[in-house]
Each structure stands twice: as structure tokens, then as C-alpha cells.
């Protein structure tokens, strides 16, 4: 155990199941908190600017996520160009920043069209 | 913005380097990385196994302890562990730690995106920052305190006197602050009142709080103890209900789950105590002899 960490840290640790993990992530980072709300004309109601599902769809259309050969239905979908094997930390940093840049551009584009 | 670190970062007592960090874009462009600027720490392992799960947890716990020690306006921190093509999000707060199950980024792309975008875009309160501690227009750190009932007053943080280096527990932070209280006649701020602010995560099930004990001692005129100005429970935004403030507690995150197992989690709430007078630092004594004479004087006069 790290000297700076209390000896009882492991005893205070709790690992969630996959379904509880998904529930926690949706509650903690809901779409409205990440992408904001927009007022649609006529100004009658507020609507979430984007949903994560829409962002993922856009990433698939841009070729960041999907099958290597789109026609091969038995092939698993993967993140294209994601570093794998023994990659350098800087490669992962670049890859994550690229994904964030694309998400930013997707949500900005949506905001413009809805205005 | 994510960035890799190849040398130990500044701003900490120990020489440590995280594998990857998330920092605000303005910080990433402007200067050498510092523990005080980091939003999220990430640890990378080439593959997921029982060994790397345990090892990465220990690693990330140690780095989170450093992060919280370097950031006095923060009470908890989420951390990311990238294990092969799996990611694990772990939250550390004063009550314990909570990890998601390992999430395969290719199989669950939406969850991967939610973590990535959530950590970089979520409001600061959702990733552990105390929104009552903030930078003012004067370039100094300010703190919101409850004052006279429901109103709030801003105080200016002059000095960090103490910050706990323990990852869990009370996480005590003490500041020397200047408080400007408007006089009732002129409504203009008076001369600053130099006071002490102490934040700590206390067990709410205890019968007496520190403020309660101080209030009783002050009431009966016991000398040699701090004078209590105010004691409050700090509020912050609820993580899933917009525009709704609740008392800050380590159990708020647990309310987001369907099954609550509090067995491994300590319940603590954030208490803020305002006291005076603000003493002199021991370092201000010119010599050890002077300190000893002052200490002897104190003991003889009080007992």
C-alpha cells in the first residue's frame, strides 16, 4: 500500500456491478449537464441540446467508431485508431483529446442549427 | 484536455507523476503542469487482470491523496484507470471509494463517451470541487460563509494554515481569512475582521459537534479557547437534481444507486466553523527560547 494512503483504504472501497455502474454514470453525467439545454423557437419549452446517443451516432458516421468493414455484420464494432498493445501515454492523451475535439465540434454544430 | 506527464509535477511535497492528467485548456497551454491545476488523474496499464486492478487502485489512491492535499478547494476526486481496452472510474471522497465495474470501451461505447465527456465537461461541483471556494475578480481566493441567518458573506482567504494529507476521514482544512462585515449604520464594509475558518468532514451521528462544545465553553466564560462566530453545514448542488442545493454529505453519491450498501462507506457531512482570534504562527517566534518562554507564560497564567 502506498505510504500516503491510509491502511484501511481497501476496506472502504466498493466496486459496483455493470448495471449499477451504468446507472451511476447516467445520473452523475446526465445529457443536460454535458450538452446543455436549448430553447427552441417558438420559445415554449427547453430541450436537451444533444443526447449521448446522437453524439455516438455522429462519431460512427465520421468513422471514429464502427466495424472495419461496414458490411461485415459478424465483426465487432470498435473505436478506430484507438491505441492498443504497449502504447505510449502520450499516444493515449492524443487519442482522447481527438475524441473530445470531435465531440465538441459535433455539439457546437448542433447548437448552431438549432438556433 | 488530457496530457501525459514524463516528469514529477510541481506543487506537492512528494515527487510523483501521473500517467495521464486532465487539465483545463487554458492551463494546458500556458505553463508547466502543477498538482494544483489538475482536474482528473488517470493511470494506464497495458492489460486488465486481478493484479493490475489492485495495483492500479493503489497507485491511483496515492495520487488522489496528493491531489487533494494540493487543492484546498476540493473534497473528492474521480480518477480514471485505463486497463487494456477497459476503463474503471473510481471516486474517492472522505467517506471511502467507489469504482465502476471495468467497462469495455468497444462493447459499451456510450458509457466510455459519457465518462470521457463527463469528466471534461461536467460542472466543477460534479468532480469534487467546492463551489463555495472560488477566485474573485481581485485575483484572490474567496470563500462563501453563512452569515446572520440565511444570508451569505464572502471572506477572503489570506493563508492556508493546515490541510490534512489523509485520503479518507475528516479532511480538515484551516484558513486565515479576512471578513468584511458591513456596519449597520453606513452599510459600508468596516475594517477587516481577521478570523479562522475550519472545514472538516464530521460524523453527523455524534452527539456534540466542535462548534456546539465551543459555544457551551464560550457561554460559561471559559478562557483560552477560540470564540465561536458561526458553525454551518456547507451546501452544494445535488448531482442529479438541477438547481437544488443539499447539505454536502459523503452519502449523496450513494443515493444515485438502486441498491445502497453503506457497509463500506463512512457517513460524513461537511462542517464549516468560523472562530477568532487568529493567532500568530509558531514560525514567527525569533528563537526556540522565545517560544518556550511564551509557552511557560501561557501555562502559568491558565493553570
The three grid cell numbers given for residue B168, joined into one nine-digit string: 479518507
> Is B257–A18 a contact, with Cβ atoms under 8 angstroms apart?
no
Summarize the confidence of residues B186-196 as an average pLDDT: 76
| pLDDT above 90 coverage of chain A, percent | 9
Q: Are strands B96-99 and A13-15 parallel, antiparallel or unpaired?
A: parallel
- Is ipTM strictly over 0.85? no
Q: H-type helices in chain B, by residue range?
A: 25-30, 50-70, 109-121, 210-219, 288-302
**End-to-end Cα separation, chain A, in angstroms:** 53
pLDDT at residue B66 above 60? yes
Distance from CA of A42 to the nearest CA of B (A): 24
Residue predicted with more confidence, B68 or A1 = B68
In three-state secondary structure terms, A98 is helix
Q: Report the residue from A20, A21, A32 with minimal CB separation from B259.
A: A20
Confidence of residue B3 (pLDDT cuts 50, 70, 90): low
Residue predicted with more confidence, B152 or B73 = B73
> Is A12–B107 a contact, with Cβ atoms under 8 angstroms apart?
no
What does each C-alpha distance from B82 to A48, B46, B106 come to in angstroms?
30, 8, 13
Range among B82-96, B143-157, B172-186 with highest mean pLDDT value: B82-96
The chain B residue lying nearest A14, using CA atoms, is B98
A 46-105 residues with CB < 8 A to B: 52-53, 55-56, 59, 65, 76-79, 82, 84-86, 88-90, 92-93, 96-97, 99-100, 103
Average pLDDT, chain B: 83
Distance from CA of B135 to the nearest CA of A (A): 23
Distance from CA of B241 to the nearest CA of A (A): 9
> Is B168–A9 a contact, with Cβ atoms under 8 angstroms apart?
yes
pLDDT at residue B145 above 80? yes
| pLDDT above 70 coverage of chain B, percent | 84
Cα(B170)–Cα(B42) distance, integer angstroms:
25
Pick from A59, A66, A89, A107 the residue to mutate for testing the B interface (most B CBs within 10 Å): A89
Distance from CA of B256 to the nearest CA of A (A): 6
B211 touches chain A (CB under 8 A): no
- Whether the bond into B187 is cis, omega within 30 of 0: no
Summarize the confidence of residues A65-90 as an average pLDDT: 77
Residue predicted with more confidence, B206 or B35 = B206
B26-40, B110-124, B195-209, range with the lowest pLDDT = B26-40
pLDDT at residue A6 above 60? no
Cα B194 to the chain's mean position, in Å?
22
Strand boundaries in chain A, DSSP class E: 13-15, 37-39, 46-48, 65-66, 78-79
Summarize the confidence of residues B77-106 as an average pLDDT: 90
Distance from CA of B85 to the nearest CA of A (A): 8
* pLDDT given for residue A114 in this prediction: 45
Please write the tens of the pLDDT for every residue from A16-66.
999 999 999 998 888 888 887 666 666 566 666 678 888 899 888 888 888
pLDDT at residue B185 above 70? no
The chain A residue lying nearest B90, using CA atoms, is A15
B107 touches chain A (CB under 8 A): yes
Summarize the confidence of residues A57-86 as an average pLDDT: 80
The domain limits of chain B are 2-127, 133-302
The domain limits of chain A are 10-114
Summarize the confidence of residues B6-33 as an average pLDDT: 66
> Is B2–A20 a contact, with Cβ atoms under 8 angstroms apart?
no
Residues contacting B71, CB < 8 A, separation 6+: B35, B36
Q: Report the residue from A5, A15, A53 with minimal CB separation from B167.
A: A5
Confidence of residue B292 (pLDDT cuts 50, 70, 90): very high
* pLDDT given for residue A1 in this prediction: 40
**pTM of the full predicted structure?**
0.83
Amino acid at each position: 500500500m502506498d505510504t500516503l494512503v491510509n491502511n484501511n483504504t481497501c476496506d472502504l472501497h466498493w466496486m459496483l456491478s455493470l448495471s449499477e455502474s451504468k446507472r451511476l454514470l447516467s445520473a452523475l453525467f446526465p445529457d443536460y449537464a454535458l450538452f446543455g439545454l436549448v430553447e427552441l423557437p417558438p420559445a415554449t419549452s427547453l430541450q436537451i441540446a444533444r443526447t449521448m446517443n446522437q453524439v455516438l451516432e455522429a462519431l460512427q458516421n465520421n468513422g471514429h467508431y464502427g466495424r472495419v468493414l461496414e458490411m461485415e455484420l459478424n465483426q465487432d464494432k470498435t473505436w478506430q485508431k484507438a491505441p492498443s498493445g504497449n502504447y505510449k501515454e502520450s499516444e493515449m492523451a492524443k487519442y482522447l483529446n481527438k475524441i473530445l475535439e470531435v465531440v465538441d465540434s459535433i455539439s457546437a454544430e448542433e447548437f448552431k442549427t438549432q438556433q | 484536455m488530457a496530457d501525459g506527464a514524463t516528469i514529477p509535477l510541481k506543487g506537492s511535497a512528494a515527487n510523483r507523476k501521473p500517467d495521464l492528467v486532465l487539465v483545463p485548456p487554458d492551463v494546458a497551454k500556458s505553463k508547466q503542469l502543477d498538482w494544483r491545476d489538475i482536474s482528473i488523474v488517470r493511470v494506464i496499464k497495458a492489460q486488465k487482470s486481478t493484479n493490475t486492478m489492485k495495483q492500479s487502485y493503489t497507485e491511483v489512491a496515492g495520487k488522489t491523496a496528493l491531489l487533494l492535499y494540493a487543492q484546498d478547494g476540493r473534497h473528492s476526486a474521480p480518477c480514471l484507470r485505463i486497463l487494456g481496452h477497459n476503463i474503471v472510474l473510481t471516486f474517492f471522497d472522505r467517506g471511502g471509494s467507489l469504482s465502476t465495474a471495468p467497462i469495455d470501451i468497444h462493447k459499451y461505447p456510450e458509457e466510455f463517451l459519457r465518462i470521457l465527456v463527463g469528466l471534461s465537461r461536467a460542472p466543477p461541483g460534479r468532480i469534487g470541487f467546492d463551489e463555495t471556494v472560488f477566485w474573485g475578480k481581485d485575483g484572490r481566493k474567496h470563500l462563501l460563509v453563512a452569515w446572520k441567518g440565511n444570508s451569505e458573506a464572502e471572506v477572503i482567504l489570506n493563508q492556508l494554515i493546515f490541510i490534512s494529507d489523509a485520503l479518507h476521514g475528516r479532511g480538515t482544512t484551516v484558513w486565515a481569512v479576512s471578513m468584511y462585515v458591513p456596519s449597520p449604520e453606513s452599510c459600508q464594509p468596516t475594517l477587516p475582521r481577521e478570523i479562522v475558518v475550519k472545514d472538516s468532514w464530521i460524523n453527523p451521528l455524534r452527539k456534540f459537534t466542535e462548534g456546539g462544545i465551543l459555544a457551551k465553553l464560550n457561554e460559561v466564560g471559559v478562557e483560552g479557547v477560540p470564540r465561536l462566530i458561526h458553525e454551518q453545514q456547507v451546501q452544494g448542488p445535488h448531482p442529479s437534481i438541477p438547481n437544488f442545493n443539499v447539505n454536502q454529505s459523503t452519502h449523496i453519491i450513494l443515493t444515485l444507486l438502486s441498491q445502497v450498501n453503506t457497509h463500506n462507506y463512512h457517513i460524513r457531512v461537511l462542517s464549516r466553523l468560523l472562530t477568532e482570534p487568529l493567532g500568530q504562527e509558531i514560525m514567527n517566534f525569533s528563537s526556540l527560547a522565545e517560544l518556550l518562554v511564551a509557552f511557560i507564560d501561557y501555562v502559568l497564567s491558565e493553570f
